[in-house]
Structure 1
Amino acid sequence: MTTPHNGDWDGDLADVLQRLVDSGPTTSTTPPVPPQPTAPPMPSAPPTVPPQAPTGPATAEPVNAPEWWRKDGPTPVHTPVPLGGDQGARPSFEAAAQAFWAPVGQILTQQVPHIAEQVGQQVGQLLTETEAQRHAREQVQYEALVNSQRALRDAQLAAAGETAEQQAKRHAVEDAFDHGHQRHDLVGLVDLLADRIGETPDERAQRRQAEHELQRRRARAQEDAVLAARGETPEQRTRRHRQQQLADRREARTRARRQRRRAARVAGPSDRTRRFRRWCVLTAISATGGYATGFVSLIAPGGPFVGLLVATFGWALDLQVRDRGRQRVSEVTGPFPLITLVALRIPVASGLAVALGLDPVFTALPLY
């Protein structure tokens, strides 16, 4: 049977609750509180895939996936490390370029002066050498090339099984067919006589000079090989070659001067008379200088023999000064060479004056 409702819902609800409380047990136990869940530890590096946001009501605050791991700790910083480890400060571009070109500069410093010296020596040789010297140098280079080719061919054939007798026969055949090789049979003798009979004096002189240059260059090539085997350095060889070139130039100048004198001596009687007069004048001037200096009066008491002895010693000195007599007295020109010649010929002129008894003539001359 239902109780009619009197319209007071709040009072009825309160009565019902009071009755339930009164009808329950007198002792009640509080249910245990579950423990709070612990927070997960902070990751050491950001994860590659962020966790999924938990499902919740639509009104819940959305979770920012990229920022979730930064909520509870400091932001980790990743520092890149070079592959080779800690290499310190990188060198500058200028230092790297200097380190790269340092070996090249050292090589250039060592090689460039040597190359320049060799090039200068070759250019000077080409500019100063004569025709005969050039032919001799080319002949030596050709012979060196032929010998190197023959040595290579001998080594190859020896490796193929050639014996010493076969090699000797092959060399004889090669020498017979060589155009520049001199034959030692009757045909070679006839050819040599024909060449010698038909050549002119100038051709003979050129041939002898070329043979002399060829022989000298062969000797120097052998000397270079011997000294190189003994340990001669390139600088020492270059210095020795320079000294040899200077000696060759002096020899060439001396040879040219002698040739000019020899050509000047081939003259007619008029030139001989002129040279004799010039010799007499220069000798008289030297004798007058000897009398003015008192040299004639000094040797006059000794007589003709003393004068002849002094003239002999003076003549030997005069010949030594005039290239052992290759240069004549009449060929001396120029003021300074003439003064030197007159001063050096005072002993021979004074000795001739005393030996010929011409010292009273100087006494009669008004020299003082």
Structure 2
Amino acid sequence: MTIPPPPSQPPTAGMPTPGPEPVAEWWRKSGPVIPPPPQPPTSGLPDTTVHTPIPIGAAPTTQAASMAAAAEAFWAPAGKLFAEQATAIASQVGEQIGQLLTETEAQRTARQQVEYEQLLAGQRARMDAALGAVGETAQERSARHRVEDILTPDRPAHRDDLVGLVDLLADRISETPEDRAARLEAARELDKQRARVREDAARAAAGETPAQRDLRHRQQRLADQREAKLRARRQHRKAARAAGPTDRFRRWCVLTAISAVGGYATGLVPLITPGGPYVGLLLAGAGWALDLHMRDWGRLRVSEVRRPGPLLILIATRIPVASGLAVATGLAPLLSSLPL
């Protein structure tokens, strides 16, 4: 079978007219122009294009940042903040150490007092402005200031920093028992005043009249005076005991013997002698309870009574004790042999 030779020219049906160059060259270079396929209509349909979010202020990049660059960008603000805080703390500690080394105690106390008063004045001014806006009168403001002066704590004795810690340790090391007792007493008195102010407010809200409040305050003052006198007597006795030892046992024996003689002279010893030692112990126990009550439950010792009037009262109140002891110990016959 014979194969016919290829045509010398390409088919040109439906093709554009070639340029001035030969047809063979155009056909080999460009080839036939095929129109693109028709696109489906997109009017009225939602946009399904995927958008990649980009941070505000960041330049759009075509490649994702590496992990090291992301970590560095994240920790950069934190590192800057830590550096600023460390600088501020070091500056504050250096300033406090400088104050501790160069500032005197008087200067430090004066500065702390001024700072505390300024703080309280600012707080009171803000409170006055807030309450004045809602209609607080001048009389109500004065009464509120009086209560605030009592309830407001005193200026802190020590600062809440390095200087305050050093001062506190120095005070505690050099504090004497008398200083500690005075400090605790002042704290108790302040707590008592604040508790009474709160009690006044609670009773006033419950309907207490001014006359009833004045009567209650008078009773409280009298109770405070009695408590102060009793505390002063106890402190005086404690100081007298610490001043120098006394022959307490000898004085106790002498005073008890005098009371026993008084019991025999009044007929108390002959009256309880037939009952035996048990009756004597019972009477001594009852008399001892009365004696302790008269001597502030033993805080005042028998040997510490000095003046004539208190001595006579002590001997008279201790007659039951001495009489019961004389009967219980079998010393009652010795009293009968005395030339009374």
TM-score bracket, normalised by the shorter chain, equals 0.5 to 0.7
Q: Which region of structure 1 is more displaced relative to structure 2, 260-269 or 283-292?
A: 260-269
Structure 2 residue aligned with 1:330: 303
Q: Which region of structure 1 is more displaced relative to structure 2, 275-284 or 144-153?
A: 144-153
Q: Secondary structure at the match of 1:266?
A: helix
What pairs with 1:81-92 in structure 2 (closer than 5 Å)?
none
Structure 1 residue aligned with 2:249: 276
Structure 1 residue aligned with 2:207: 231
Structure 2 residue aligned with 1:339: 312
Q: 2: CA distance between counterparts of 1:282 and 1:191? A: 53
Q: Secondary structure at the match of 1:232?
A: coil
Structure 1 residue aligned with 2:84: none
Q: Secondary structure at the match of 2:270?
A: helix
**Is residue 206 of structure 1 aligned with residue 182 of structure 2?**
yes
Larger Rg over CA atoms = 1
Q: Which region of structure 1 is more displaced relative to structure 2, 307-316 or 252-261?
A: 307-316
Instruction: Give the CA RMSD over aligned residues.
Output: 3.3
**Is residue 349 of structure 1 aligned with residue 331 of structure 2?**
no
Q: Which runs of 4+ in 1 moved over 6 A?
A: 142-147, 153-157, 181-190
Q: 1: CA distance between counterparts of 2:120 and 2:313? A: 50
- Identity over aligned residues, as a percent? 64
Q: Secondary structure at the match of 1:283?
A: helix
Q: Secondary structure at the match of 1:260?
A: helix
What pairs with 1:1-368 in structure 2 (closer than 5 Å)?
148-149=124-125, 151-152=127-128, 180=156, 192-269=168-245, 272-273=246-247, 275-367=248-340
Q: 2: CA distance between counterparts of 1:145 and 1:240? A: 33
Q: Secondary structure at the match of 2:187?
A: helix
Distance of aligned partners of 1:195 and 1:265 in 2 relative to their CA distance in 1, 3 Å threshold: same
Contact 2:285 2:321 in 1 (8 A): yes
- Offset of residue 329 of structure 1: 1.7
- Offset of residue 315 of structure 1: 0.9
Distance of aligned partners of 1:231 and 1:148 in 2 relative to their CA distance in 1, 3 Å threshold: farther
Q: Which region of structure 1 is more displaced relative to structure 2, 252-261 or 303-312?
A: 303-312
- Offset of residue 191 of structure 1: 5.5
Contact 2:158 2:165 in 1 (8 A): no
- Offset of residue 144 of structure 1: 9.4
- Offset of residue 180 of structure 1: 2.2
Q: 2: CA distance between counterparts of 1:146 and 1:302? A: 80
- Offset of residue 179 of structure 1: 5.7
Q: 2: CA distance between counterparts of 1:299 and 1:147? A: 75
Structure 2 residue aligned with 1:100: none
Q: 2: CA distance between counterparts of 1:357 and 1:366? A: 19
- Which amino acid is 2:283 matched to? V
Q: 2: CA distance between counterparts of 1:198 and 1:149? A: 39
Distance of aligned partners of 1:146 and 1:285 in 2 relative to their CA distance in 1, 3 Å threshold: farther
- Offset of residue 187 of structure 1: 8.2
TM-score, with length taken from structure 2: 0.52
Q: 2: CA distance between counterparts of 1:346 and 1:322? A: 15
- Offset of residue 145 of structure 1: 7.7
Q: 2: CA distance between counterparts of 1:232 and 1:322? A: 39
Q: 2: CA distance between counterparts of 1:251 and 1:357? A: 43
Q: Secondary structure at the match of 2:330?
A: coil
Distance of aligned partners of 1:229 and 1:288 in 2 relative to their CA distance in 1, 3 Å threshold: same
Q: Which region of structure 1 is more displaced relative to structure 2, 202-211 or 277-286?
A: 277-286
- Offset of residue 277 of structure 1: 2.8
Q: 2: CA distance between counterparts of 1:208 and 1:223? A: 22
Distance of aligned partners of 1:295 and 1:194 in 2 relative to their CA distance in 1, 3 Å threshold: same
Q: Which region of structure 1 is more displaced relative to structure 2, 190-199 or 253-262?
A: 190-199
TM-score, with length taken from structure 1: 0.49
Gaps of 5+ in 1: 1-141, 158-177
Contact 2:280 2:325 in 1 (8 A): yes
- Which amino acid is 1:247 matched to? A
Q: Secondary structure at the match of 1:290?
A: helix
- Offset of residue 339 of structure 1: 2.1
- Which amino acid is 2:321 matched to? V
Distance of aligned partners of 1:145 and 1:234 in 2 relative to their CA distance in 1, 3 Å threshold: farther
Q: 2: CA distance between counterparts of 1:145 and 1:338? A: 58
- Offset of residue 258 of structure 1: 0.6
